[in-house]
């Protein structure tokens, strides 16, 4: 049986930039962060991540990340979740 209700939106952000050192997750210049986009689910974010990472494969310092923004904010209640 199929459902007519859309999947719950789970916000994911994809960002990237050059790292200072490959052994640490610290960006070289925060002003140069590449915001790829915001996506309603992990699958869409993963597709965007793959595309961005593939375009920069020749730069060993460049890294892209998927941020699970839905884990940090509950838009329904306005509550923020801190790690």
Q: Residue 31 and residue 9: Cα distance in Å, rounded?
A: 29
pTM surpassing 0.85?
no
Residues 8-47: tens digit of each pLDDT: 788 999 999 999 998 899 999 999 999 999 999 999 999 9
CATH number where 62 lies:
3.30.70.2400
Q: Residue 81 and residue 62: Cα distance in Å, rounded?
A: 29
> Does 57 reside within a domain?
yes
- Token representation of residue 45: 């974010």
Q: Residue 73 and residue 2: Cα distance in Å, rounded?
A: 29
> Does 68 reside within a domain?
yes
* Whether the Cβ atoms of residue 48 and residue 14 lie closer than 8 Å to each other: yes
- Domain hosting residue 50, numbered range: 12-26+33-80
Number of domains in the chain: 1
């Amino acid at each position: 049986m199929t459902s007519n209700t859309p999947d719950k939106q789970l916000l994911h952000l994809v960002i990237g930039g050059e790292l200072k050192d490959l052994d640490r997750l610290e960006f070289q210049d925060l002003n140069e962060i590449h915001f790829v986009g915001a996506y309603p689910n992990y699958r869409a974010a993963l597709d965007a991540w793959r595309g961005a990472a593939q375009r920069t494969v020749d730069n060993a310092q460049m890294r892209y990340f998927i941020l699970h923004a839905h884990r940090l904010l509950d838009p329904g209640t306005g509550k923020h979740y801190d790690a």
